């Protein structure tokens, strides 16, 4: 018989894919809630059973271990040896360099659901404003058609893209659902959500826009 035990001396930190999972949909599930709780913390929490139970909002040790095991299997969480503090400072100071690192071309824009751009890398101001407006319009269309997309076509992604003849994205729009706020990341070319900077970006937004 075997049982799972926690590794000593680690702090829990979401992975880029875990962050993407957490903020790419509004559907409520235990794993998504757990990662979102991690992203609300001002620093990476220590890996112990009581902390886990609190973050996961579960009573039993068994449930906490099972959920952590599931997240580990999915590659959504990782353990770091030293605690990391959430990004501090003004968003408009820290966001542009983070955005730059999640795209190959460096052309990235972060805007809100109303079509106002919050931070930008690479695009000119004028283009950024136009793209922010487009992203808001796409979001309106998506909301209007989401039932058909999910129920009839079983497409549960919220992202939209302008594609070339091969179906490759020339310009992509990825909504981020953070607390009650919604943002859109617009990327020209190949997106790199697999970068550690994506975690920092989501953490920076979550600590400011998610209610604890």
Partner 1 sequence: MLQSFSLFETENEISPAFIESDQNFMVEKVLWTTTIKENNDLYTQIVFKVLRNPNHLMSHIQRIYVAYTWKMNAPLYAALIDLLLVLDGKGKQLSNRMIFMTRSLLSDQQYQILTEYLKTQKTDLLPENKFTVLTKGLVGSPVLLVEENT
Residue 43 in the binding site for partner 1 (CB under 8 A): no
Q: Is 96 in the site for partner 1 (CB under 8 A)?
A: no
Residue 23 contacts partner 1 per CB under 8 A = no
Q: Which stretch binds partner 1 (CB under 8 A): 85-93, 98-106, 129-137, 174-182?
A: 98-106
| Residue 124 lies near partner 1 (rule: CB under 8 A) | no
Size of the site for partner 1 (CB under 8 A): 40
- CB-based contacts of 40: which residues, under 8 Å, 6+ apart? 206, 207, 210, 212
The verdict on 39 binding partner 1 (CB under 8 A) reads: no
Among 25, 58, 63, 79, binds partner 1 (CB under 8 A): 79
Distance between CA atoms of residues 19 and 5, nearest Å: 24
Contacts 24+ apart (CB under 8 A), 117-122: 118/91, 118/92, 118/183, 119/91, 119/92, 119/95, 120/96, 121/96, 121/97, 122/188
Q: In what order do the strands lie in the sheet with 117-121?
A: 117-121, 108-112, 181-188, 169-178, 160-163
* Binding span for partner 1 by CB under 8 A among 66-74, 114-122, 141-149, 172-180: 66-74
As a whole number of angstroms, the distance between CA 140 and CA 182 comes to 12
Q: How far is the CB of 37 from partner 1 (least distance, A)?
A: 15
Strand 108-112 and strand 181-188: the pairing is antiparallel
65 binding partner 1? (CB under 8 A)? yes
**What is the contact surface with partner 1 in residues (CB under 8 A)?**
1-7, 10, 12-13, 15-17, 47, 65, 68-69, 72, 75, 77-81, 101, 104-105, 164-166, 168-169, 189-190, 192, 194-196, 198-199
């Amino acid at each position: 018989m075997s049982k799972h035990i926690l590794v000593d001396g680690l702090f829990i930190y979401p992975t880029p894919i875990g962050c993407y999972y957490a903020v790419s949909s509004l559907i409520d599930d235990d794993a998504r809630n757990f990662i979102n709780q991690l992203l609300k913390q001002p620093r990476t929490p220590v890996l112990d059973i009581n902390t886990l139970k609190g973050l996961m909002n579960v009573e039993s040790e068994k449930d906490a271990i099972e959920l952590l095991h599931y997240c580990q299997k999915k590659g959504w969480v990782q353990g770091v040896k030293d605690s990391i503090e959430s990004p501090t400072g003004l968003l408009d100071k820290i966001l542009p360099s983070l955005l730059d690192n999640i795209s190959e071309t460096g052309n990235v824009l972060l805007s809100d659901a109303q079509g106002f751009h919050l931070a930008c890398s690479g695009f000119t101001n004028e283009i950024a404003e136009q793209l922010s407006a487009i992203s808001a319009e796409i979001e309106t269309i998506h909301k209007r058609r989401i039932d058909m997309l999910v129920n009839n076509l079983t497409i549960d992604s919220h992202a939209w893209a302008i594609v070339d003849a091969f179906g490759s994205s020339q310009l992509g729009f990825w909504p981020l659902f953070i607390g009650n706020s919604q943002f859109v990341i617009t990327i020209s070319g190949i997106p790199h959500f697999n970068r550690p900077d994506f975690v920092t970006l989501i953490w920076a937004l979550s600590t400011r826009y998610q209610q604890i």
